[in-house]
Each structure stands twice: as structure tokens, then as C-alpha cells.
Amino acid sequence: MLVSIILLIGTLSTPLPLNAVRIQDGPSIDGVLDDAVWSQAETVCCRLMQYGPEYGAEMTEETEIFILYNDSHIYFAFSMNDPDPTTMLNALTPRDDYITGEWIAILLDTWGDGREATSFEISLANSQMDSKVNPRGGWDYSWDAVWESGTSVTDGGWTAEFAIPFSCLRFDQTSDAQSWTVNFQRILGKTRENGWYVLSEGGPMADLETFADLNGIEGIEGSLGLEIRPYASERSIHDSEPDEWDNTFNAGVDMKLGIGSSVAADFTVNPDFGQIEADAVEMNLSHFELFLQERRPFFLESQNVFRMPFMMFYSRRIGAVAPNGDVIPIIGGGKISGSLSGGFRFGFLDAVTAKVSEDTLILVPATNYGIFRTVKDFGTYSYIGISAVSRESWKQEEFDAEHNTALALDGAFEIPGNHLVSLAAARSWNTGLEDDGAYEIEFNKIRSRIGYESGFRYVGENFNVNGTGFTTENGFWESWGHFWHNIRPEETFSEIGYHGGVRYAKQLHGEVTVQNVDLSTHATLMNGVNFGIEGNYSGEVFNPYEGPEGHTYGDHANFYSWLGTNHFDVLYGRAGFGAGQWESGGTFHNYQATFRFRPSAALTVGLEGNMFNTDGGTNYNWDISDWDTRDTYWKSLILRVNYIFNPDMNLRLFSQYSKFRMDYTQSQESESGEITANMLFSWQYLPGSMFYFLVENLFEENEEGSFGTPDVGFYAKLTWYLPI
């Protein structure tokens, strides 16, 4: 090796920088470090520092690090010591699904400014994970890239190789010499050690501002290549009533064009999201819709750029469900996003959805969505941002033209003492409503395990961004405050934390809608067992959405407690219990239990159960147009089974039984139940190219309380990744 560096990181106040060495031809990526080219790399031999379970202690085993690069890729290799390789835990898992075992991760900040890092992680079984990491400690695994990795077991542990193409990274191509920073994380499964090259002293596990310098990368260029992913799919659905089959064939294409090294354009024509697993059925006793996670690849790409104040953009508004239950089809869409010199980040998205008709009547008109966001960064936390959203539908038969538009200006700036002040102002314009505004200010403690925040928000009577975003209520102001503290004792506990908060909200015409105090504490033992309890107290409040004119409810209090084993153990369990006074009067009880068993590296079985009952609530009964006493009963049982043939092929089962009953004293009770079952086979037959086959069943409960003939569906989809 060119240079051999022995590091004792625990004795250093700052991490030593690392050097990447330029080569001509890269190594073969098979996990075996026998390519002669690795002898050109500098060797860093060290014991990473534990974030847990013994914070600040050295890991029990050494790690060697090697870094190379050429015109197209950056290469990393690791040799990880383990005196008894037979006891290593083989973490075989679907992509982006972490389980306990042996892992090694690379976190790259390719701008060197602490604003965002890209992580690449592999397990001993060569299962891949990749994500975007933000300064506040969030890991967004919705981002995916195409890169290579390989692993191998040795007599003294295991080795790993990474080949990361520059085409999947964003960096400053105006500079010949790159100013990157890097960190490494190693998980040692059998001892539960979580080690880092640079150990975070603040709150987040990965403190982007303290990453080590990665020197030596010069003369590289970003890809101007084109990635094309055509697809073809076939869906066949059999409805039990009426007894008939419905067959649908689809074809379309997704494209990505690199515009320099830091900007990418995405296009989609007739996108198809059929391989996405169904959303779990949830109980909803509120007057607001449930917020659903985005799962569609086109919207997941660069979603961090599109995060806006006041929830102005909620991507599941695009291609949502029509009143008749049909998914609103997306005709096509385009997106351009990235970073520019001077600390600018931006994103623009446009999508067109088709109309949905039934019996020649239009239920939902064709619509165009336009979303724009740009941010100017001033360091890690300080920024100024501008957001604009628009939803436009033109006149179509009985539907008149409509528009929903909003603009916002937001920003944040640091002040002494590691504090951050954030401000936001927005205004909306909607058909049939007067234009109105919303304003917010928030004060936060950053870079600390002792945290606190406070804020104030005003939302006008007619401020509404629900056309493109997620507005649950308007015409109110609220203020809040929170504090939290996490400590890491040296014995028995790996972490003890506590939290407290207050919130007060009032309608603009004077009614108090929220006055709440909550306190909680939690602890984690050295063996990973964790437990906690939280309590809430609410004073008298007015619910404006209950009944024709709203209703005032008295004060109430409740608690929730839980106990769980180590989340990453082969056998995992968690139980929770909550009880107290319900928000609309009466009482409630909540029972939750989760069980997961991993009998082998390939098989994982999980059960999740939930029971939630309310008794004696005071609610408006619309059937009799009068106030009434209401009881509700909710039961849900979810079965998840994953079988992993290899890192590129897996079989997943999701099945749920759910039942909900609502019983008013003065009217007939209502009851509904269903059983859903989805089995998904996925196979990455070439890097970036996928085959999916889905079988789905839906059993709905009939009036007699039994489950009849199910609706059955079959779905197959083939995608082909073509880098040009």
C-alpha cells in the first residue's frame, strides 16, 4: 500500500482527513480485495467510535478503509475484523429494509457544506440500502440509485467493495478540486455496536458538519447521460359482484436526463404504480382525512427539495382516488431539480391528470399541477426559500374552470448559542374564496441533546392549499413549546430521555380549540430493551367540526405506556397500553402488540395487533339530527411475511383483518370488516431492471357478518433500465 495510517480516533479532537487515489481502471466488484489496484490506495486502519451501546468507547474490532476513483466511479473497500466469523449475523433483506447483522455504510457530503449527505450501505449478505441524510438526523430511504457492491467472508472477518458512479451523485462541477466530506458507520450485529469514523457529539447520530475531509478528488465530470426505464404491465381483476373479469394492459416510460453533475430532469409518460403495496387500513375517528405516505418513484425522487411551509405540496393529491373509487390516471409529468453554484437548490414539477367519468358523466375533470420550490442556503441551517403551487382545471362539460394557487416565502437564520429562528409567510388564491394568508415563526435549539423549541402560527379563514397540499383546518392561531433531553449513562442504560410540551390554539372568532400539556419519558437498556410512558392533559376545548355548529368538551387526561425488546433482535416483541378520558367525552382503551420472528437469514414473520375502543362519547348523530352517545370498536391484525431468495429476489406477503363498529344509543349500529391479502414477488434481473408479480385478494364482510367470495386480482409488470 502507498501509505499506512494507524488511527486511534478516541484520542483525536478532530478526525484525520482521508485521501482518494486516482486510478485508470477500477477493480472488479466481488467483495474480494485481491485486485492489484487496491495496493495503490492509502490504508486507514482504525477502531470506529461507538454511538451505542457504550457511547464514546472504541469498537471491539478494527476496520480498514481504502478509497480509489477514476473518471466514472469512486470506489470504497473495507476489511472488517472479527475473530470468530462463524458468529457473524447474516443480514439478508429486501432493498432499504434494515435488520440486525453486519453492516458497513458510507455517508458522502459531495458539497462539503453539511446540508445533505448521501448514504450507501451494504450488509454481509450484500443487501443494499441507500438514502439521503439531513442535518437534523433524518434518513430518507425513498431515494434509490444504481450502484454496485460485493461482500466476502474471510478467515478474520469480512470484506466489502463499493463502486459508486458519479452519475448518481450531485457535486460542484465548476471546481476542478472537489471539497467533499465523508463518514463511515459499521454495525457489529452480535455485540450491537454502532460505530462511526466521526462520532457525533450533538443530537443527530450523523452530524454532517463534523464529517472528515475527503481529499484528492480532481478532474471529474458529471454525467450528461440519459436513463430510460420503459415498462409494460398487465392487470386482471375479478369482481365477485358482478361475476366478471376486467383486463388492462399498460405501457409507458420514465426517463432521467443529467444536466451537468448537479441538475437532473425526470419525465414520465403514462406512469404505472401498480407494484406498490396497498396502504394498511387505519381507524380514523377525526374529521380530517388521513395523511398517506408517498410510495411512487416519480414523486419520491428529490422529494426533500419540495418540502414547503404550511404543507403546500402533498404529492398524493396528484393521481388520487376519484369518488367512484377509481385511481385518477396521470397522463404524464416532468420534473427538473438539483443544485447550482452559490448554494442554490431548486425543483420544478408539472403533471397532468386525465378526467374520470362514469355513465358519461365527468366525476373529476382533467387537471394540471405545477409545483415550484427554490432555496438559497447560507451554511448548514440558514436559508431563504420561495414556493409556488398551482392546480388548474379548465372548463369541461358541466365543470367550470377552477384554480388553486399559493405562494410562500420562508427562511431560517442562526443566532448565537446554537439557536435557529425560522419564519414563513404564505398566501392562497382559490376559486370561490377570498385570498388569504398564513404566517409562522419558530425558535429552535440545534446541535444538542438538550433541545427546546417554541413557535406561533396564524392561518386565515380562507387560507386553503388543499388543491395541491394538505390543509386540515383554517381560521385559527396557535402557539406551542417543547423541550427534550437525552442522556447516555455509562452503566445499565444506553439512553434515558424525557420530553414535555404545551400547545394552545384558538379560532379567530374566539373559541379555544386546543389547550394541551404532555409529558413523557423513555429509557433503553444496554441490551436494547426499551420502555416508556407518556401522559396528556387537555383543558376545556371547542370542536368546530362536531355537529352543525360545533360542540364544547370538558377537560380530559390520558396516558400511554409501552415495553419492547431490542428492535433488531431475532425475536422481537413490543406491547403498549393506553387509557383515559376520550376527547369527545367518555373513556377509551387502546391495546397494541407487535411480534416479529426471524428464524433464518431469509425468512421474517411479523404480527401486529391493535384494539381501540371508546365508550360513552358525546357526538352528533346525523341519522336522527340530534346529539347522541356513541361507542366505537376497532380491531386490526396484520401479518407480514418476507422471504428473501437473494438480495435481488424476494417474496412478500401483506395480509390484514380489520373490523370497525360504531354504536349510537338512539339508532342502529353500523359495522364493517374486511380481509386483504397481497403477495408480491419482485426480481431485479439486471441492475435497475425489475420484474413484479402481484396477487391480491379482498374479502368484504356481508350483512350476516361472514366473508363471502373475494375480489381477486393479478398484476405483472416488467421494467427495463437503459443507461445511455
Q: Lowest-pLDDT range, 137-146, 374-383, 671-680, 708-717?
A: 137-146
Query: What sign has the CA pseudo-torsion 318, 319, 320, 323?
Result: positive
Single out the residue of 389, 391, 385, 352 nearest to residue 372, CA to CA: 389
Spatial distance between the Cα atoms of 179 and 717, rounded to a whole number of angstroms: 42
| Contact partners, residue 10, CB within 8 Å, separation at least 6 | 47, 49, 56, 57, 58
> pLDDT for 385-432, tens place per residue?
999 999 999 998 888 899 999 999 999 999 998 899 999 999 999 999
| Contact partners, residue 528, CB within 8 Å, separation at least 6 | 53, 192, 494, 565, 566, 567, 568, 569
- Check if the beta carbon of residue 546 is closer than 8 Å to that of residue 287: yes
> pLDDT for 84-115, tens place per residue?
998 888 878 888 888 778 999 999 999 888 88
CA atoms within 13 A on the CB side of 597: 4
83 preceded by cis ω (within 30°)? Answer: no
**pLDDT at 7 > cutoff 80:** no
Query: How are beta strands 571-581 and 670-686 bridged, if at all?
Result: unpaired
Q: Which range scores top for mean pLDDT: 128-142, 259-273, 361-375?
A: 361-375
Cell of 199: 462520532
pTM of the model: 0.80
Segment 666-695 mean pLDDT: 90
Segment 424-442 mean pLDDT: 96
Single out the residue of 562, 572, 564, 701 nearest to residue 640, CA to CA: 572
Segment 510-527 mean pLDDT: 94
Single out the residue of 349, 406, 412, 414 nearest to residue 375, CA to CA: 412
- Check if the beta carbon of residue 62 is closer than 8 Å to that of residue 140: no
Spatial distance between the Cα atoms of 459 and 473, rounded to a whole number of angstroms: 8
Single out the residue of 443, 452, 437, 406 nearest to residue 423, CA to CA: 443
The owner of cell 474480494 is 32
Segment 504-529 mean pLDDT: 94
Mean pLDDT of all residues belonging to the chain: 88
- Give one word for 261, left, alpha or beta, with left for phi > 0 and alpha for psi -120 to 50: alpha
SS3 content of the chain, % helix, strand, coil (to 5): 5, 55, 40
Single out the residue of 319, 399, 389 nearest to residue 354, CA to CA: 319
**pLDDT at 452 > cutoff 50:** yes
Number of Cβ atoms within 10 Å of the Cβ of 592: 17
581 pairs with which residues across the strands? Answer: 587
Give the phi and the psi of residue 310 in degrees, each rounded to 5.
60, 25
- Give one word for 219, left, alpha or beta, with left for phi > 0 and alpha for psi -120 to 50: left
Q: Which domains does the chain have, with CATH numbers?
A: 4-215 (2.60.40.1190), 289-472 (no CATH), 476-686 (no CATH)
What residue type is assigned to position 242 of the chain?
P
Single out the residue of 341, 344, 333 nearest to residue 301, CA to CA: 333
pLDDT of residue 243: 76
pLDDT of residue 279: 58
Segment 694-709 mean pLDDT: 80
- Check if the beta carbon of residue 81 is closer than 8 Å to that of residue 61: yes
> pLDDT for 262-317, tens place per residue?
778 888 888 766 545 555 666 666 666 777 777 777 787 777 789 999 999 999 89
- Give one word for 510, left, alpha or beta, with left for phi > 0 and alpha for psi -120 to 50: left
Cell of 278: 396497498
Extract the runs of DSSP E, i.e. beta strands, from 365-492. Answer: 367-378, 382-393, 402-415, 419-430, 436-445, 450-459, 476-487
Query: What sign has the CA pseudo-torsion 306, 312, 316, 320?
Result: negative
With pLDDT > 70 as the criterion, what percentage of the chain qualifies?
94
pLDDT of residue 14: 60
- Check if the beta carbon of residue 561 is closer than 8 Å to that of residue 536: no
**pLDDT at 6 > cutoff 50:** no
- Check if the beta carbon of residue 253 is closer than 8 Å to that of residue 232: no
The angle subtended at Cα 93 by Cα 89 and Cα 94, nearest 5°, is 170
Query: How are beta strands 711-719 and 226-239 bridged, if at all?
Result: antiparallel
The owner of cell 396557535 is 478
Quote the longest CA-to-CA distance of the chain. 84
Report the first-to-last Cα separation within the chain, whole angstroms.
36
> pLDDT for 545-587, tens place per residue?
899 999 999 999 999 999 999 887 889 999 999 999 999 999 9
The owner of cell 377570498 is 434
DSSP character at residue 405 = E
